[in-house]
Structure 1
């Protein structure tokens, strides 16, 4: 797993006009190449009467699948510049289609590169992005004398409490970056003189958005 990576939470759209040509950018989360191809086909059907539907996408934790298409525009003037924006923003599992309605005036090679790049940039401004972090989901069990110390430690490190159960003991479920797991366990043990029981439930990706913790399918709008 990557320590963290940036991707789409909620896709967005934007339109720019250059010399009467309309460029409409649509950004979408895609996790497989099949999803990317379905998205591209969806855009082609939506904008069936457009002159061009150019696309670019990056898929995989190691960006194993990277594709771009000029869709009839001069070679290297659309797909590659669009892809460069995605890579420059360090995005993963992201696809973008830029639809062009020709306005009657040629933009030239440089003009096309700038227009397609700008369209993607504007589309990303209207897209909600999140950082997915590799996290450790942990359960801490302690008696009531250790709760205050653990809560203080969690507050210091800004580690969110997902669930708290108060019975004869206190059980707290928390999530934190994997790279901080070892030090955190040491700190909890030290703070409670070894009386707290710490159990790792699983390693998974999570994200923070507007003060909420997102996991699993919650990371898709």
Structure 2
């Protein structure tokens, strides 16, 4: 049976810039929490404005609670010498919804592909280590509609399962929106489905 992934690692806030030097070249790494490609483009635009004289701004990102979308960019460096080692650090730290950038100022000495790979990897690693990593759980919503006589039963299940009530409206009847961890969702939904007179929707 395949285990359901219901948590992921990301960053709490943008990390502090981390500087790595090699034979005169400066590599400035920084990591950012992001939710979509628009936010990524905004960060990159600001970086180019701040570092207009930089030789390269290479980056990699990964998006989605299922780690299902990613990209790596070498920005003119030799193929796979910059973006890929940066992306490798996202994988090593198991991060998603995260962008890591490395700004390079050329120092006059060619580092070779091997040297570039090591430099970008190190700058990315230092950038992530300068950030606070957090774990978030994936939650799904369950909607309940019921009459007041069922309130005690509903609240008992909520208390036993330690569920989060996102919204509740009580007028002629009761409407609750619950947040439930993905891995527990089917089991808990069955508990509510078994209550006669309780309307359950997803």
TM (norm. structure 2) is 0.69
Partner of 1:153: 157
Q: Would the aligned equivalents of 2:60 and 2:73 in 1 still touch at CA under 8 Å? A: yes
Matched, 1:67 2:69: no
Q: Within the alignment, does 1:18 sit opposite 2:18 as a pair?
A: no
CA–CA distance in structure 1, aligned partners of residues 39 and 176 of structure 2: 38
> Number of residues paired by the alignment?
194
Residues 21 and 104 of structure 1 are in contact (CA less than 8 Å); yes or no, is this contact kept in structure 2?
A: yes
SS at match of 1:194: coil
TM-score by length of 1: 0.64
Tell me the C-alpha RMSD between the 2 structures.
3.7
Please show how residues 207-218 of structure 1 align to structure 2 within 5 Å: none
Equivalent residue of 2:91, what SS?
A: helix
How many angstroms does 1:162 deviate by? 1.3
Gaps of 5+ in 1: 203-221
Shift of 1:75: 4.4
In structure 2, do the counterparts of structure 1 residues 185 and 64 end up closer, same or farther at CA, with 3 Å as the change threshold?
closer
- Specify which structure has the higher proportion of strand: 1
* 1:31 equivalenced with 2:33 (yes/no): no
Give SS of 2:52's match. Answer: coil
Structure 2's unaligned 5+ residue stretches are none
Q: CA 1:67–1:75 in 2, change beyond 3 Å: closer, same or farther?
A: closer
Quote the offset at 1:81 in angstroms. Answer: 0.4
Instruction: Report the secondary structure of 1:23's partner residue.
Output: strand
Counterparts of residues 1-221 of structure 1 (less than 5 Å)? 6-7=9-10, 10-19=13-22, 21-28=25-32, 29=34, 31-32=36-37, 36-58=40-62, 63=68, 66-69=71-74, 71-72=76-77, 74-102=78-106, 110-125=114-129, 126=131, 131=136, 133=138, 135-144=140-149, 146-167=150-171, 169-178=173-182, 180-190=184-194, 193-195=195-197, 197-200=198-201, 202=202
Q: CA deviation at 1:93?
A: 4.6
- Give 1:174 shift: 0.8
